[in-house]
Amino acid sequence: MAQSNILLDSGTNELEIVEFFLDEEGYRGHYGMNVAKVLEIIREQPVTSLPQTRHRAVLGAFPHRDGRVIPLVDLSLYLGKKRESTGDSKIIVTEFNTTTTGFLVSGVNRIHRLSWQEVEAPGNFLQSISSNAITGIVRLEGRVVFILDMEAIVGELDPALAIRLEGGISGEQGDGKIYTILHADDSGNARFLVKRLLEDSGRFKVIQASSGEEAWSILSGFHQEESRGGVPVRERVQAVISDIEMPRMDGLTLCRKIKEEPLFNFMPVALFSSLVTDRLEHKGDSVGADVQFSKPDLQMLSQKLLEIIASGNVKRIPAEIRR
């Protein structure tokens, strides 16, 4: 499948999703995932069982033509559904969080280009009945399409891929001060882990937002308070950590807005996302991101962020690509 997503401009708040479906008896559910995570879509392959799999949704593994052996996850089983076998099932091969995984689905419809403004955040009830596997909702051509949180799914299936901070942060890292971080991520699980791990390190205090739009609103509110004689923004927030995929406003757009705004561009922005790969890292570079790390490696991100805050060596967006 062509990777058309790499043609999207960075920081325009656009995304492309591949829409697929899962068939049950009498019902077809429509789902989507970011095209940037998709390597290819292939026919269903014979699998070899894997010993000691932690979840019944992991059907086994199949050999890929590039020599890798790829685990196969039945998304219907993961979501607690009973998939009807039509004989035309597809495997969506993905690459994110430094791992490659195949997901078995009933079929694939098409790719849609849309704005993150069109993506609605799921309510608490929907999150609870989907095991927090849904990260957004979009209405396309009369259908309700649920965008899946692929990182949460893979993290549950393989705890080694969950967000972690191993060994703590060296007390000598940076200048020893405690810094306030504004963290934006639409995943409640990611927000919980990042806040707990960073604050337990003793080096950070964390303020959180569930979208880039909410994070921007928080910064704007801090500026308004400063303009009325309140605490300066510089004393309220020293850095931003942001996911990339978020409803309403994505992390690339948030980063670009911060870097273009003289009121805020003193603070470093770290992108912490499964979309940070060698193939897509140029997107973060183009919007001025100071640090980019793929989930789940919070350890390296936090240490690098401390270095940048202490040194004051913050990136600016090159003038020739500013909007």
Instruction: Give me the number of domains the chain comprises.
Output: 2
Whether 120 and 200 share a structural domain? no
| Segment 21-56, tens digit of pLDDT | 999 888 999 999 999 889 999 999 999 988 777 788
Whether 33 and 141 share a structural domain? yes
Whether 145 and 171 share a structural domain? no
Query: pTM here?
Result: 0.79
Identify the three-state secondary structure at position 36. Answer: helix
Q: Give the model's pLDDT for residue 317.
A: 64
> Domain boundary at 98, 126, 159, which?
159
Task: Single out the residue of 75, 73, 61, 58 nearest to residue 24, CA to CA.
Answer: 75
Task: Single out the residue of 232, 253, 233 nearest to residue 242, CA to CA.
Answer: 253
Q: What are the backbone angles phi and psi of residue 153, rounded to the nearest 5°? A: -65, -50
Whether 154 and 9 share a structural domain? yes
* Residues with Cβ within 8 Å of residue 9, at least 6 apart in sequence: none
Whether 26 and 124 share a structural domain? yes
What CATH number should be reported for the domain holding residue 147?
2.40.50.180
Whether 80 and 226 share a structural domain? no
Read off the pLDDT band of 143 (50, 70, 90).
very high
Cα–Cα distance, 274 to 37 (Å, whole number) = 8
Q: Give the model's pLDDT for residue 206.
A: 96
Cα–Cα distance, 290 to 255 (Å, whole number) = 10
Whether 210 and 146 share a structural domain? no
Whether 115 and 173 share a structural domain? no
Whether 26 and 146 share a structural domain? yes
- Per-residue pLDDT averaged across 163-179, rounded? 64
Whether 147 and 272 share a structural domain? no
Tell me which residue range forms the domain holding 250: 163-321
| Segment 230-260, tens digit of pLDDT | 999 999 999 999 999 888 899 999 999 999 9
298 or 288: which leads in pLDDT = 288
Whether 29 and 88 share a structural domain? yes
What CATH number should be reported for the domain holding residue 209?
3.40.50.2300
- Per-residue pLDDT averaged across 74-98, rounded? 87
> Domain boundary at 95, 128, 159, which?
159
Whether 134 and 178 share a structural domain? no
